[in-house]
Structure 1
Amino acid sequence: MEPIMANLRTAASYARTGNIALAQMEIEEATATWKQLATHTPPSGPPYTPVALTEFLGRGGERLGAAARALDGGDVVAAGRELLLLRRSFHELRRRSGLYDLADCVFEIAPAMDKLRVAATYYGEHPAPARAEETIASASAFRDRLQRCNDWARADVAETSEFRRLIDGAIASSTEISHAAMAGDGPLVHRYLIELQSYAQLLDFRFG
């Protein structure tokens, strides 16, 4: 699954930026590998139960096909949605099977990032103490998620310059966006929000 997940992350990134041709190439590679996985993976055995594995492989293949068709039609939003659903189903399968690592943790920061994005954006449009508090609370929750992922990183990953730049930068920016909200500085909140979205996307692309 590792090369497939790498293909899916890359395809999602290309789809998000509108590069349909490159996204299609990644989907084609993922589909070819998926067919091999479905053919050669045993139907049972730890850590996956036969029913869960069969369901995952069947629905995953359907979602890959749906993503490919969406890209053929130029619908990058639909393609991104199918890729996200497929990635989510993989992490849910792992969780149900008692598996968890850095990739699972990084994948799970997206909802916290979305909540912070909504709070910070609304604060920028309607600055008020209550909106600032929502932004600060969301930033704190996001920072907690980042710290958790930092703790889950294996030593050989945690010590790399790329991981340190991304995780430390995101943690620092999540602190600064809180300070900016407390100071009532809407433009600075927006600037740190852009930074944090970039960090979250890069973490997901590289380690999710």
Structure 2
Amino acid sequence: MSICKNLSVVTAVCAIFTAASALAGDLSNFNEAIEKVAAHNRVATNYLRTGNADLAAIELDDMRGAWSKLTKRFEGKTPDAFADNALYSDLLQNTAGKIDKTLGLIDSGDLPGAAKETIDFREKLSAMRRASGLYLLADCVLDANKAMDDFFVYKTNLPQWGDKGVKADVQSKAAIYGYLLHRCDAMATPAVKADPEFRRLVDGAHNGLSFVPQAVSNEDSGQLFRVLIELRSFDNLLFFRFG
């Protein structure tokens, strides 16, 4: 009798672990599929920023193909992590139309409008994950990019060093960006963390940030300007490769 009970316990435990593994696998497979879509979106965004409409359209067409494969695979098979997540349903229902809209904007010559659509897709994808308590490297890179946007205002609006709070604000914006870079580095998988390009971008950005205190102390707008240009370059490439 005890043997039967033990067998029943083992069977139940195995069933639990098998189910948990299947759910984890569903999420892992979804993340892998969505990354293929997001990769095309990132490249298209980059081409739109540089005014290359033809190559952006090619990437968006490839994105549409990757999205079609994803929806066929996961329609009616929502990963457990996204159960009852309205943003997941919205993404599945509206992304194909968004891609078509973006291609239409490119055809009409509205590249800034098309870029807004690709950026919006990235933000909606991140919001969907966060709504389910998920936070991936791509989401961290998005936060870092936004922090860099805040810091980059000092490129066109040079700091008025004599104004109250300006020095503290420059240092604060630099510190927030540096913190987020550390966070992204810490959460990266071992393979990504060791990737020479990832290391070059993250370590290069940290090195650039190390000159901010000197620029602030010396009230050197020229040095800060050069640092910001370098940081923006690293930041754009971080998005392009890992965002």
TM-score (norm. length: structure 2): 0.80
Question: Matches of residues 91-110 of structure 1 in structure 2 within 5 Å?
Answer: 91-110=126-145
Pair 1:77 & 2:112 matched: yes
Pair 1:26 & 2:88 matched: no
> Residue 37 of structure 1 is aligned with which of 48, 51, 70?
70
When residues 131 and 73 of structure 1 are mapped into structure 2, their CA distance, relative to the original with a 3 A threshold, is same
TM-score (norm. length: structure 1): 0.92
Q: How many residues align?
A: 207
Q: Which shifted more, 171-180 or 190-199?
A: 171-180
Listed one character per residue, the Cα deviations across residues 111-131 of structure 1 (whole Å, up to 9, x for unaligned) are 21111011454234x343532
Listed one character per residue, the Cα deviations across residues 98-147 of structure 1 (whole Å, up to 9, x for unaligned) are 222212211211221111011454234x3435323221111111111111
> Which amino acid in structure 1 is aligned with residue 82 of structure 2?
Y
Long gaps (5+) in structure 1: none
Taking only the aligned residue pairs, the percentage that are identical comes to: 31
C-alpha distance in 1 between matches for 2:191 and 2:79:
29
Q: Which shifted more, 94-103 or 135-144?
A: 94-103
C-alpha distance in 2 between matches for 1:70 and 1:158:
37
C-alpha distance in 2 between matches for 1:40 and 1:150:
32
Structural RMSD (CA): 1.6
C-alpha distance in 2 between matches for 1:128 and 1:11:
42
Long gaps (5+) in structure 2: 1-33
Q: Which shifted more, 140-149 or 173-182?
A: 173-182
> Residue 113 of structure 1 is aligned with which of 144, 148, 153?
148
Q: Who wins on radius of gyration, i.e. which is larger? A: 2
Pair 1:48 & 2:82 matched: yes
C-alpha distance in 2 between matches for 1:4 and 1:98:
21
> Which amino acid in structure 1 is aligned with residue 238 of structure 2?
L
> Residue 15 of structure 1 is aligned with which of 30, 40, 48?
48
